[in-house]
């Protein structure tokens, strides 16, 4: 029955791969559904076709350690099932190894999957794994820590910090919006120095976002309006509102830029694209790196081009191949 409904497509796509085995790293506390039921669905789809090793994250052994151990064993495919924290931890172990990463998203925002246009349901994610089509994307380093999506300095970091687990459990992705609106009451500018190989400038800002890539819902990363995961560049957006009302207006404008894939013309929003940048803040500001809080008043970002293979939907990969083939 399964093979009749989800038969493998006939294709000459060279990057389609039939995986023989995989390691599934499953976070049982992610999402709002029944985790046991989710796991049973994943097993029903994948186990008839894959030698599937399943590891559940715990307080004693997190996704990062489980993923590193799997890489050391020489696993053929890493599968991360959970929220963005779980995905980031597993992906960081795969960077630069050539081991593909598959994602079965079960989190609040699922920013990584949304940013890449990956399948978002359990069934579609499992089908993509069985079809084995892959994209190669950039990653980055933030003070030598791997970065998949983005880092936020100042306002965004405070928002992520305030959107705690309880708030996310009750309101889902709207928890970040509620936390952001609350943070507007305490909006403060700070001095920031941005230094690249070509320039060094010092400005006042309330938020800095450095993105490897990000979905339109990552509003403060949309200064350029078209984040690409494979362009070998980091997108830096600098927000410098005069007051809370202007900050809200700028957020709306940035959201529209992300949807329309166009850069902002607002004089109080700056942006640039770089391969490497050093950012120093005075006074030191909170920093969120892929949703996790870190510390530091001087941060160095550097892109690592084409450093991660990600399993994507067959249709998405085929469409990109066909678009390229038309140019030949």
Strands 276-282 and 287-289: unpaired
What is the predicted pLDDT for the residue at 152?
87
- State how far the Cα of 297 lies from the Cα of 45, in Å rounded to an integer: 47
Distance of CA 305 to the CA centre of its chain: 15
The domain limits of the chain are 2-133+312-325, 145-305
For residue 149, is the peptide bond before it cis, meaning its omega torsion is within 30 degrees of 0? no
Mean pLDDT in order along the chain per 10 residues (328 residues):
40 61 95 89 95 96 96 97 93 96 92 90 94 94 91 72 48 43 60 92 88 74 69 88 52 49 61 92 88 82 96 80 52
Q: Quick one: CA dihedral 221, 223, 225, 228, positive or negative? A: negative
Task: Say if residues 151 and 289 touch (Cβ distance below 8 Å).
Answer: yes
Q: Which fold has domain 2-133+312-325?
A: Rossmann fold (3.40.50)
Second CATH level (architecture) for the domain 145-305: Sandwich (2.60)
User: What is the model's pLDDT at position 172?
Assistant: 46
What is the pLDDT, as a whole number, of residue 111?
A: 86
The pLDDT of residue 275: 95
Start-end of H helices in 117-240: 122-131, 155-162, 165-171, 174-183
Question: 226: which 2 tokens?
Answer: 């078209």
Burial class (CB in 10 A: 0-12, 13-18, 19+), 34: exposed
pLDDT given for residue 218 in this prediction: 65
Q: Which residues have a Cβ under 8 Å from the Cβ of 36 and sit 6 or more positions away?
A: 28
H helices, E strands: number in the chain: 11, 16
Q: What is the pLDDT of residue 160?
A: 56
Tell me what pLDDT residue 18 has.
84
Distance of CA 23 to the CA centre of its chain: 21
Sign of CA dihedral 14, 18, 23, 28: positive
Please state at what angle helix 174-183 crosses helix 155-162, rounded to 10 degrees.
120
């Amino acid at each position: 029955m399964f093979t009749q409904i989800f038969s493998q497509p006939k294709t000459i796509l060279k990057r389609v791969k039939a995986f023989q085995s995989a390691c599934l790293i499953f976070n049982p506390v992610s999402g709002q559904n029944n985790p046991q039921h989710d796991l049973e669905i994943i097993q029903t789809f994948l186990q008839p076709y894959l030698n599937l090793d399943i590891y559940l994250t715990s307080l004693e052994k997190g996704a990062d350690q489980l993923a590193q151990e799997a890489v050391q064993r020489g696993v053929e495919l890493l599968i991360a099932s959970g929220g963005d924290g779980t995905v980031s931890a597993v992906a960081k172990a795969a960077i630069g190894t050539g081991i593909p990463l598959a994602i079965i998203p079960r989190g609040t925002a699922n920013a990584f999957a949304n940013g890449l246009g990956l399948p978002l349901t359990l069934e579609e994610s499992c089908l993509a794994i069985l079809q084995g089509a892959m994209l190669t994307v950039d990653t980055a380093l933030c003070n030598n820590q791997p970065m998949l999506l983005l880092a936020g300095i100042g306002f965004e970091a405070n928002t992520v910090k305030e959107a705690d687990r309880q708030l996310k459990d009750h309101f889902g992705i709207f928890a970040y919006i509620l936390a952001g609106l609350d943070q507007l009451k305490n909006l403060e500018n700070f001095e920031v120095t941005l230094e690249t190989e070509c320039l060094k400038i010092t400005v006042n800002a309330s938020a800095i976002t450095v993105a490897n890539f990000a979905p339109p819902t990552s509003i403060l990363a949309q200064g350029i309006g078209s984040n690409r995961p494979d362009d070998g560049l980091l997108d830096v957006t600098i927000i410098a509102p005069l007051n809370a009302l202007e900050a809200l207006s700028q957020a709306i404008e940035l959201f529209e830029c992300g949807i329309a894939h166009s850069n902002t013309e607002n004089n109080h929003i700056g942006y640039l694209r770089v391969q490497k940048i050093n950012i120093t803040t005075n006074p030191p500001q909170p920093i969120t790196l892929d949703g996790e809080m870190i510390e530091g008043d001087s941060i160095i970002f550097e892109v690592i081009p084409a450093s991660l293979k990600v399993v994507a939907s067959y249709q998405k990969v085929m469409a990109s191949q066909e678009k390229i083939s038309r140019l030949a």
